[in-house]
Amino acid sequence: MMMLLQQTTSVTKLSVFSKSDFCFKHCSSSSARLFFMDKHTNSSSSSSSLKQSFKQYQSPVLACHASTATNDTSLRKDYLPVHGVSEVIVGVLGGGQLGRMLCQAASEMAIKVMVLDPLVNCPASSIAYDHMVGSFDDSETVHEFAKRCAVLTVEIEHVDVATMEKLEQQGVDCQPKASTIRIIQDKYLQKVHFSRHGIPLPDFMKIDDLEGAKRAGDLFGYPLMFKSRRLAYDGCGNAVAKNEEELTSAVNGRMFYTEVQFLKKLVSHLGLTTLVFLYAIDEQQFTLGGFARGLYVEKWTPFVKELAVIVGRGRDNSISCYPVVETIHKENICHVVKAPAHVPWKIREHAIDIAHKAVSSLEGAGVFAVELFLTKDGQVLLNEVAPRTHNSGHHTIESCYTSQFEQHLRAVLGLPLGDPSMKTPAAIMYNLLGEDEGEPGFHLAHQLIGRALNIQGTAVHWYDKPEMRKQRKMGHITIVGSSVGIVEAQLKSMLKEEGSETQNAVSPCVGIIMGSDSDLRIMKDAAMILNMFGVPHEVRIVSAHRTPEMMFSYALSARDRGIQIIIAGAGGAAHLPG
Amino acid sequence: MMMLLQQTTSVTKLSVFSKSDFCFKHCSSSSARLFFMDKHTNSSSSSSSLKQSFKQYQSPVLACHASTATNDTSLRKDYLPVHGVSEVIVGVLGGGQLGRMLCQAASEMAIKVMVLDPLVNCPASSIAYDHMVGSFDDSETVHEFAKRCAVLTVEIEHVDVATMEKLEQQGVDCQPKASTIRIIQDKYLQKVHFSRHGIPLPDFMKIDDLEGAKRAGDLFGYPLMFKSRRLAYDGCGNAVAKNEEELTSAVNGRMFYTEVQFLKKLVSHLGLTTLVFLYAIDEQQFTLGGFARGLYVEKWTPFVKELAVIVGRGRDNSISCYPVVETIHKENICHVVKAPAHVPWKIREHAIDIAHKAVSSLEGAGVFAVELFLTKDGQVLLNEVAPRTHNSGHHTIESCYTSQFEQHLRAVLGLPLGDPSMKTPAAIMYNLLGEDEGEPGFHLAHQLIGRALNIQGTAVHWYDKPEMRKQRKMGHITIVGSSVGIVEAQLKSMLKEEGSETQNAVSPCVGIIMGSDSDLRIMKDAAMILNMFGVPHEVRIVSAHRTPEMMFSYALSARDRGIQIIIAGAGGAAHLPG
């Protein structure tokens, strides 16, 4: 590992490391620990109705009964008198910030939400009705969890769908349906599905071999976007071939020749001292890994804006769309959401129409997020759908009559859907992403929060994640106000101060860049070593699969800020212009 | 106890029972059980920062340190790096619905709130950071609790103020200050205090003996309002003398002669079958109990509206007032709150001005509720102040930029106060009061909630109280919308259906009435016996201290609805017209 530091000399050179040069800690799914944080049995014996109902719902028989009546709007009314809104225990696979906010919405109505998450201190743990500690990707654990709740839902789509299907066959009530999760998990299936339902998409094509890839190139032109069908998110699992010569390397994840050539050029062009290039990619997960893994290609879609629509769907198939928002991604992570989107009325109508159709075509109740591209020529194309609450809907907590989290609960419980319209004319959501590792990161976030609390109409959400990591979603800030102009100005003033303060901090002299936060587990080793030696540095996600200029502009800005060394993860360096 | 049932014959007769005829279960404060529901130590050992900070705050030394810096806006920053908004543990005396909603607001910002409440299943328990089970009126318990938190605040004013004062001397940080709680607890001191600060009040006068009472009668005229100085709320501890002859009986709590005469008249006038009159008053608590207990008189104030202003006060003495609301009480319990109040702008200004002055005169940070009378001639007079969040501010959760609960947290933590203005043009809050005991009550509430969920702009809050009792605050519903007219119409439509459904229910043939829900612990025995024998009945709070016609109109409406028997608690029967 010391080699890295030895590279920071004044001699311009380029070193390429492979991941095998480093030590990785992998989590084995077979070692998934399972225990149940029973919040209710540690209290003194009590005859509270809450505990009674809880015990009743622990029975797997009851859970099966409940699940057969998928269109029943008053679940289990024959079994138990209802105290309050609902007695049904909602089980959520995943206990991250989405689970946490679901629990918060549930708390107002005293709805009981249980979460399944491997982390003892996951964000949802402290306020969930109960937290089962275990993996939502482990069949046995999910089975055990399902026994304890009456409706099963998700806050993440990367769950064990085969187990969900088995559970459904056994009568467990899953909302949305496992069939929906299966479609969403496979991006190609998703495209085929939506295409069959007449939903406008970027052109796409399944490819099985190099010949297919070539045909696709001939048909769609270059650059050509390759995507892996599964476990792809935040730009991971994507690759771009800029010409026919790059097809093989793009598909097999061995695109490094081009990159190395480019990086060499960059080093000399910018006069950087050193560029340490970490081959930081776990092929299994983060490259396409060849045709055998399942690939498809998409025609390159230059967009002018990214839009999103949150859609609620009831057990009775009623559908309710939230206003169209504009999502602004920074280095592939959702950064800012503006509600409503500043686009012509016709575009909004069109977006709502597509979102409505897309969700209508899926099975099961809940909230769905429909991500869309708006092209230069005014086309609205579906990008992808998330079968759950979504970052683009966080603003609804403060700005809409019914938040996306309450809506999801209403939907899966068979309650009438709430009103998705905005009760304030405008809202802007800003993600609190980790700006540094550990305590310095917490300090920076705390400073920003301090400024936010002084701004009118601001609500601060903090997810209480025990660990701070760079680019990690730690919380968010929503500003609501009487016009888009006002909330934008307020956000600006909040961030302006931030900028001026950052300038007073020590300037970084090393930049660590990567394609997505999935590379962090490798790249953080580099950051750790720099920390050990007190070398000021910055970590940025610079993913270039859609805008190849991004890394170039990062490198330019880094030079202007006095950064002499850039350490690049392959994810960040991939797909750069030659 | 069977005697009661024997009274339900067809012979018109009136029986008066004294409380000594019944068995009461009193809670001895010396037997207060104390245990700590440690939510965090039952999990597997973990190095979460949450747990670490929790342990650090358990140190009494640290608690004392924190409390010396009462105007420090960044508490403890020297001790711990802050993760998120604040690391300070806020301790709340009381864990009812106000504590619960405080915890909900805290959860969004990941602020840690601990509650002290004797009930294992108190509303705040499930979402508090921790819940210490014990009495907030017990010195030893409060001491123990204070050691575990860095700021001590209240959700109820009937706490052990002497202990709070001792804790303050030891350096514990109480917000608001014990001095404030002491002033508020003694209604006479409260009046003197506000009067000295030039705040308009109904005329009042301390009385020590019968001579003083007579002088007050000569000065203020009749009816004359007697109030006990302590432990008075919801109309309890009030008595009215309609003329000089009633002075002694009013003061000594032996007003039953008049009542009995009146009730006899009522029985014959209405042709009721039987009126069972329970002498259901615990003299110690619910009557004035003579001059020795501390009394004062107030000039009778006929008002046209009751208004309220929620006021936030920061540790830096900054003050922020919420818009004036109108509170509508039904049988002495807050029933509906309309925001903003439909009164001329000048009246609103005047109300805000009084509220501002009143809170400025008190010590310590937090949210305060200022209750006001609006008289026929446009005067605004202070009724009383609550040193805490308040039922009249529940609407702020949905209708204001910063809710009263978040505001209270910001205030006691020394964070900047939030924006109290409304983000929606109008809001109406409707309390979900128990309409029946036990399961039938839950059923009725569930029906109403079901209708509420179908109404646009409605938010349902359910407090998750394990027991349903008549007139108990079980939850509330807030409707926000674009005009007062709209939200009123929506509330009406929600309740209209309720009316039509109630008609289908079994009509009660016995009415149980009382002066306030404090009488419930006695009156519920009557309800229990009727339940045992399957006699349909209704329980109503009919307190007459301000509107003596109330009981009369209740009796008339009861007769119209076929009720032949009324069981009256003395609290409900007191102060009726002769």
A402 CB neighbours in chain B (<8 A) are: 459
* Cross-chain CB nearest to A453 (options B50, B121, B415): B415
pLDDT at site A553: 54
pLDDT at A78 over 70: no
B450 CB neighbours in chain A (<8 A) are: 74
Q: Which residue reads 């409505």 in tokens?
A: A356
CA distances from B63 to A335, B54, B60, B79 (A): 39, 12, 5, 12
Query: How far apart (Å, rounded) are the C-alpha atoms in residues A350 and A354?
Result: 6
Nearest chain B Cα distance for residue A221, angstroms: 48
How many residues are given for chain B? 578
Asked if the Cβ–Cβ distance from A107 to B108 is below 8 Å, we say no
C-alpha B539 chain-centroid distance: 19
C-alpha B408 chain-centroid distance: 17
Other C-beta atoms closer than 10 Å to the C-beta of B504 total 7
pLDDT at B334 over 80: yes
pLDDT at site A280: 35
Task: Give residue A552's identity as a one-letter amino acid code.
Answer: F
Instruction: Place A437 in a pLDDT band, splitting at 50, 70 and 90.
Output: confident
Query: How far apart (Å, rounded) are the C-alpha atoms in residues B517 and B520?
Result: 5
Query: How far apart (Å, rounded) are the C-alpha atoms in residues A270 and A216?
Result: 36
* Whether A121 contacts chain B with CB within 8 A: yes
* Cross-chain CB nearest to A50 (options B454, B461, B464): B464
Instruction: Place B273 in a pLDDT band, splitting at 50, 70 and 90.
Output: very low
Average pLDDT over residues B498-507: 44
C-alpha A167 chain-centroid distance: 26
| Whether the Cβ atoms of residue B343 and residue B400 lie closer than 8 Å to each other | no
Contacts of A329 (CB under 8 A, 6+ apart): A306, A335
Task: Give residue B295's identity as a one-letter amino acid code.
Answer: L
pLDDT at site A493: 92
Phi then psi for residue B308, to 5 deg, are: -150, 150
Residue, of B55 and A188, whose pLDDT is higher? A188
Asked if the Cβ–Cβ distance from A401 to B480 is below 8 Å, we say yes
pLDDT at A458 over 90: yes
At B244, is the secondary structure helix, strand, or coil? helix
**HEC profile for A141-169?**
HHHHHHHCCCEEEECCCCCCHHHHHHHHH
Question: Which contacts (CB < 8 Å, 24+ apart) does range A138-144 have?
Answer: A138/A29, A138/A32, A138/A34, A139/A163, A139/A166, A140/A34, A141/A32, A141/A34, A141/A116, A142/A93, A142/A116, A142/A167, A143/A167, A144/A34
Query: How far apart (Å, rounded) are the C-alpha atoms in residues B344 and B149?
Result: 44
| Whether the Cβ atoms of residue B342 and residue B426 lie closer than 8 Å to each other | no
pLDDT at site B202: 94
pLDDT at site A240: 82
Task: Give residue A292's identity as a one-letter amino acid code.
Answer: A
Instruction: Place B270 in a pLDDT band, splitting at 50, 70 and 90.
Output: low
Fold match between domain B89-174 and domain B510-569: yes
Instruction: Place A225 in a pLDDT band, splitting at 50, 70 and 90.
Output: confident
Query: How far apart (Å, rounded) are the C-alpha atoms in residues B400 and B279?
Result: 45
- HSE at residue B310, side-chain half, CA atoms within 13 A, is 36
Instruction: Place A268 in a pLDDT band, splitting at 50, 70 and 90.
Output: low
Query: How far apart (Å, rounded) are the C-alpha atoms in residues B27 and B24?
Result: 10
pLDDT at site A278: 40
- Domain coordinates in residue numbering, chain B: 89-174, 199-298, 302-495, 510-569
Residues 420-459 of A with CB under 8 A from B: 423-424, 439, 442-443, 445-446, 449, 453-454, 456-459
Phi then psi for residue B477, to 5 deg, are: -125, 130
pLDDT at site A325: 98
B426-433 and B333-339 beta bridge pairing: antiparallel
Average pLDDT over residues A349-358: 97
CA distances from A370 to A324, A342, A390, B383 (A): 10, 17, 9, 53
Burial pattern A116-135, b for ≥16 Cβ within 10 A else e, equals bbbbbbbbbbbbbbbbbbbb
pLDDT at B350 over 90: yes
Quick: pLDDT tens for B416-447: 999 999 999 999 999 999 998 888 999 999 99
Contacts of A116 (CB under 8 A, 6+ apart): A91, A92, A93, A94, A95, A131, A132, A134, A135, A136, A141, A142, A145
Instruction: Place B137 in a pLDDT band, splitting at 50, 70 and 90.
Output: confident
Instruction: Place B237 in a pLDDT band, splitting at 50, 70 and 90.
Output: low
How many residues are given for chain A? 578
Q: What are A463's two structure tokens?
A: 């997810």
| Lowest mean pLDDT segment, chosen from A549-563, B22-36, B232-246 | B22-36
Strands (E), A42-146: 90-93, 113-117, 130-133
Q: For the purposes of burial, counting CB atoms within 10 Å of the CB of A5, is it exposed (0-12), middle (13-18) or buried (19 or more)? A: middle
Quick: pLDDT tens for B354-377: 999 999 999 999 999 999 999 999
**Mean confidence (pLDDT) of chain B:** 76
Instruction: Place B561 in a pLDDT band, splitting at 50, 70 and 90.
Output: low
Quick: pLDDT tens for A384-413: 999 999 999 999 999 999 999 999 999 999
Question: Largest Cα–Cα distance in chain B?
Answer: 77
| Lowest mean pLDDT segment, chosen from A437-441, A505-509, B300-304, B542-546 | B542-546
Residues 349-408 of A with CB under 8 A from B: 397-398, 401-402
pLDDT at site B572: 38
Phi then psi for residue B499, to 5 deg, are: -55, -45
Whether ipTM > 0.85 holds is no
| Whether the Cβ atoms of residue B109 and residue A489 lie closer than 8 Å to each other | no
- Element at A402 (helix H, strand E): none
pLDDT at site B289: 57
pLDDT at A542 over 50: yes
Highest mean pLDDT among A59-68, A519-528, B244-253, B508-517: B244-253
Instruction: Place A541 in a pLDDT band, splitting at 50, 70 and 90.
Output: low
Q: To 5 degrees, how large is the angle CA B375–CA B381–CA B387? A: 135
Quick: pLDDT tens for A310-321: 999 999 999 999
Contacts of B400 (CB under 8 A, 6+ apart): B322, B419, B420, B421, B422, B423
Average pLDDT over residues A534-548: 53
Q: What are A403's two structure tokens?
A: 């938040």
Query: How far apart (Å, rounded) are the C-alpha atoms in residues A289 and A228?
Result: 9
> CATH fold of A199-298, please?
Dna Ligase; domain 1 (3.30.1490)
Instruction: Place A238 in a pLDDT band, splitting at 50, 70 and 90.
Output: confident
Q: What are B431's two structure tokens?
A: 């309390």
A204: left (phi over 0), alpha (psi -120 to 50) or beta: beta
Average pLDDT over residues A503-518: 57
Average pLDDT over residues B499-526: 57
Q: At what angle do helices B256-270 and B549-560 cross, to 10 degrees?
A: 30
Domain with residues B89-174, CATH architecture? 3-Layer(aba) Sandwich (3.40)
Nearest chain A Cα distance for residue B76, angstroms: 14
DSSP string, B54-92: HHHHT-HHHHHHHHH-TT-SSTTTTTS---SS--PEEEE
Quick: pLDDT tens for A117-173: 999 999 999 999 999 999 988 899 999 999 999 999 999 988 889 999 999 999 999
Instruction: Place A86 in a pLDDT band, splitting at 50, 70 and 90.
Output: very high
Nearest chain A Cα distance for residue B490, angstroms: 14
Instruction: Place B538 in a pLDDT band, splitting at 50, 70 and 90.
Output: low
Asked if the Cβ–Cβ distance from A39 to B43 is below 8 Å, we say no
Of the candidates B325, B492, B339, the residue with the CA atom closest to the CA atom of residue B427:
B339
DSSP string, A441-479: HHHHHHHHHHHHHTSTTEEEEE---SS--TT-EEEEEEE
Looking at chain A, which residue has its C-alpha nearest residue B445?
A84
Average pLDDT over residues B213-225: 90
Looking at chain A, which residue has its C-alpha nearest residue B483?
A423
| Whether the Cβ atoms of residue B480 and residue B424 lie closer than 8 Å to each other | yes
Mutate: best of B88, B109, B130, partner A, most A CBs <10 A: B109
A401 CB neighbours in chain B (<8 A) are: 456-458, 480
C-alpha B516 chain-centroid distance: 11
pLDDT at B539 over 80: no
> CATH fold of A510-569, please?
Rossmann fold (3.40.50)
| Whether the Cβ atoms of residue A314 and residue A330 lie closer than 8 Å to each other | no
Q: Is the peptide bond prior to B420 cis by the omega test (within 30 degrees of 0)?
A: no
Residue, of A268 and B416, whose pLDDT is higher? B416
Residues 461-500 of A with CB under 8 A from B: 461-464, 466, 468, 474-475, 480
Domain with residues A302-495, CATH architecture? 2-Layer Sandwich (3.30)
Average pLDDT over residues A209-215: 88
* Whether B84 contacts chain A with CB within 8 A: yes
Residue, of B43 and B93, whose pLDDT is higher? B93
CA distances from A379 to A375, B192, B369 (A): 5, 71, 54
| Lowest mean pLDDT segment, chosen from A20-29, A267-276, B494-503 | A20-29
Phi then psi for residue A398, to 5 deg, are: -95, -25
Query: How far apart (Å, rounded) are the C-alpha atoms in residues B106 and A174?
Result: 31
Of the candidates B47, B70, B34, the residue with the CA atom closest to the CA atom of residue B150:
B70
pLDDT at site A239: 78
Q: To 5 degrees, how large is the angle CA B540–CA B546–CA B550? A: 40
Average pLDDT over residues B493-506: 57
C-alpha A548 chain-centroid distance: 22
At B392, is the secondary structure helix, strand, or coil? helix
Residues 537-576 of A with CB under 8 A from B: none
pLDDT at site B558: 65
Other C-beta atoms closer than 10 Å to the C-beta of B454 total 14
Dihedral sign for Cα atoms in the order B283, B289, B294, B300 = positive
- HSE at residue A140, side-chain half, CA atoms within 13 A, is 8
Quick: pLDDT tens for B58-98: 322 222 223 333 333 333 344 457 889 999 999 999 999 99
pLDDT at site A237: 66
Average pLDDT over residues A86-110: 97
**Mean confidence (pLDDT) of chain A:** 76
Nearest chain A Cα distance for residue B202, angstroms: 37
DSSP string, B128-149: SSEEEES-TT-HHHHHHHHHT-
pLDDT at B267 over 50: yes
pLDDT at site B323: 97
- HSE at residue B64, side-chain half, CA atoms within 13 A, is 9
